[in-house]
């Protein structure tokens, strides 16, 4: 392990901590705007590495950079009829005991004069905004990172520019070699005088805008002469080439073979192609749909993680990856031989994808995730609207404490999943090559 690998891991962790800090700011700002007393704003878990109090809030960093939180007073309402200033006996049932203990903890920091500053007493739409602020901040960060990547740097794209790696001879597909033999025939491109760096711009009078265009036109033409327009050193040139027919792998399924398709004999060049802001929206939309599908299939994906961890099966490139695995990918990126521009693009893409995934995961309507609190606020708003429509007395606050047993069970499952991901990322990590 070289020092560049470690630097890559550290840079990724710093980016992750920045994303976590911004997520919590997404909760903190609306909470303060709506008058909720926030006693702590922390990035990380475990013991405190540094903290400073400003006003009524302690701001700090903890040693384990795997999350963060803000502490708002009065997250859970007291039991109906209870005087929050009086002690009461503890329930004996196991689940009821957990609920009442949580209620007590939620009331511990409530001081005289805080009655209207507790979270549970806020309007339902204020609760929704406060709890939606974190995921919303992740989505904003993802959009910013993707915009920097697509608009500022660009995406790796195969361009219709002749690569220096292009062979000058026709090598039979069945032969696994790259070097030419004296008996090999020259390619149509070599015969026509195509050189590395030539950009193909037209084929038989049809414009070529991408490598996909060039491939489609060449293959569909078959064998025979054709006029190929190129740009060489800034000057347009037309070359007369005579394509030959070859068996080539199918573009969608390389295991299938397309018979007697047109063959020119050039390889493309990879370039960084910038996109428009509108394309950023489309790119995020497509990726959001894929992440949503992964979340729906998360139990099945975790079965694959189990097999990868304990049976040595290959990791699914579209499967989940934990912080440890993402950090290792960050190390691979930084220590690789790719250009600095490509390294930066990979890093930004990694952070953007993580922010998008964290934002969507937190919207799952289950406690202890933000989505569980959002669902509680929406349910409270629905109940109040229904009561107002029927002119009934306004219902009380939605008591999310009643689902705490389920919350603890889900939290346990999440910890097991996180532990499994960490183990799989250590023994069978997902790498840049798959």
Question: 308 and 219, same structural domain?
Answer: no
Question: 348 and 212, same structural domain?
Answer: no
Q: Which residues, including other chains, have CB under 8 Å from residue 153's CB and lie 6 or more apart?
A: 272, 274, 341, 344, 345, 348
Confidence of residue 104 (pLDDT cuts 50, 70, 90): low
SS3 226: strand
Boundaries of domain holding 368: 1-154+274-434
Last residue of a domain, one of 273, 297, 312: 273
The continuous run of DSSP H or E covering 155 comes out as strand 155-159
The continuous run of DSSP H or E covering 361 comes out as helix 340-362
Give percent of the chain above pLDDT 90: 31
Would you say 106 and 75 are in contact if contact means Cβ atoms under 8 Å apart? yes
Question: 174 and 29, same structural domain?
Answer: no
pLDDT above 70: residue 81: no
Confidence of residue 87 (pLDDT cuts 50, 70, 90): very low
Question: 139 and 38, same structural domain?
Answer: yes
The continuous run of DSSP H or E covering 38 comes out as strand 38-54
Question: 278 and 265, same structural domain?
Answer: no
What is residue 82's predicted lDDT score, i.e. its pLDDT?
54
**CA–CA distances in Å: residue 299 to residues 33, 95, 258, 302, 380:** 38, 26, 38, 5, 30
Catalytic residue, chosen from 24, 100, 332, 380, is 24
Give the model confidence (pLDDT) of 244-284 as tens digits.
Answer: 998 888 888 877 888 889 999 899 998 888 888 888 998 88
Give the pTM. Answer: 0.77
What is residue 19's predicted lDDT score, i.e. its pLDDT?
92
- Output the DSSP codes for 278-342: HHHHHHHHHHHHHHHHHHHTHHHHHHHHHHHHHT-PPPPTTS---HHHHHHHHHHHHHSSS-HHH
Question: 278 and 202, same structural domain?
Answer: no
- The tally of domains found in the chain comes to 2
Distance between CA atoms of residues 103 and 401, nearest Å: 7
CATH of the domain at 240: 2.30.42.10
Distance between CA atoms of residues 74 and 56, nearest Å: 15
Question: 123 and 70, same structural domain?
Answer: yes
What is residue 105's predicted lDDT score, i.e. its pLDDT?
54
Question: 212 and 106, same structural domain?
Answer: no
Would you say 70 and 58 are in contact if contact means Cβ atoms under 8 Å apart? no
Question: 349 and 419, same structural domain?
Answer: yes
Burial class (CB in 10 A: 0-12, 13-18, 19+), 369: buried
Question: 93 and 188, same structural domain?
Answer: no
What is residue 160's predicted lDDT score, i.e. its pLDDT?
92
Last residue of a domain, one of 273, 299, 315: 273
Question: 373 and 232, same structural domain?
Answer: no
Last residue of a domain, one of 273, 298, 315: 273
115 is catalytic: no
Nearest Cα neighbor of 348 from 154, 143, 146, 157 is: 146
Task: Pick from 77-81, 156-160, 251-255, 408-412 the range whose average pLDDT is largest.
Answer: 156-160
Question: 327 and 246, same structural domain?
Answer: no
């Amino acid at each position: 392990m070289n020092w560049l690998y470690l630097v890559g891991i550290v840079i990724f962790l710093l980016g992750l901590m920045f994303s976590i800090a911004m997520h919590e700011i997404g909760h903190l700002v609306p909470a303060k705007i709506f008058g909720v007393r926030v006693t702590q704003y922390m990035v990380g878990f475990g013991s405190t590495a540094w903290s400073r109090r400003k006003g009524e809030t302690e701001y700090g960093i903890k040693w384990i950079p795997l999350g963060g939180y803000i502490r708002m007073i009065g997250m859970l309402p007291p039991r109906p009829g209870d005087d929050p200033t009086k002690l009461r006996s503890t329930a004996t049932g196991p689940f009821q005991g957990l609920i009442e203990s949580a209620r007590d903890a939620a009331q511990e920091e409530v001081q005289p004069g805080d009655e209207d500053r507790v979270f549970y007493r806020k309007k339902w739409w204020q609760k929704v905004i406060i709890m939606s602020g974190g995921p919303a901040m992740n989505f904003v960060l993802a959009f910013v990172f993707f915009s920097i990547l697509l608009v500022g740097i660009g995406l790796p794209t195969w361009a219709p520019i002749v690569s220096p790696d292009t062979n000058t001879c026709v090598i039979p597909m069945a032969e696994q070699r790259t070097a030419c033999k004296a008996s090999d025939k020259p390619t149509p491109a070599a015969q026509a005088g195509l050189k590395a760096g030539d950009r193909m711009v037209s084929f038989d009078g049809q414009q070529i805008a991408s490598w996909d265009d060039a491939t489609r036109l060449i293959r569909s033409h078959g064998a025979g002469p054709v006029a190929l327009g190129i740009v060489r050193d800034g000057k347009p040139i037309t070359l007369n080439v005579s394509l030959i027919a070859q068996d080539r792998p199918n573009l969608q399924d390389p295991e299938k073979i397309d018979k007697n398709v047109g063959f020119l004999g050039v390889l493309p060049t990879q370039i960084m192609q910038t996109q428009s802001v509108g394309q950023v929206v489309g790119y995020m939309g497509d990726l959001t749909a894929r992440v949503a599908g992964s979340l729906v299939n998360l139990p099945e994906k975790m079965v694959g993680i189990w097999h990868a961890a304990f049976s040595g099966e290959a990791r699914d490139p579209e499967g989940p990856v934990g912080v440890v695995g993402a950090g290792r990918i960050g190390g691979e990126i930084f220590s690789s031989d790719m250009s600095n521009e490509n390294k930066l693009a990979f890093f930004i893409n990694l952070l953007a994808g993580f922010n998008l995934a964290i934002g969507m995961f937190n919207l799952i309507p289950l406690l202890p995730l933000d989505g569980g609190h959002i669902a509680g606020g929406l349910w409270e708003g629905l109940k109040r609207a229904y009561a107002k429509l029927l002119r009934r007395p306004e219902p009380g606050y939605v008591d999310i404490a009643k689902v705490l047993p389920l919350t603890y069970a889900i939290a346990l499952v999440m910890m097991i999943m996180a532990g499994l991901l960490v183990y799989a990322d250590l023994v069978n990590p997902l790498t840049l090559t798959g």
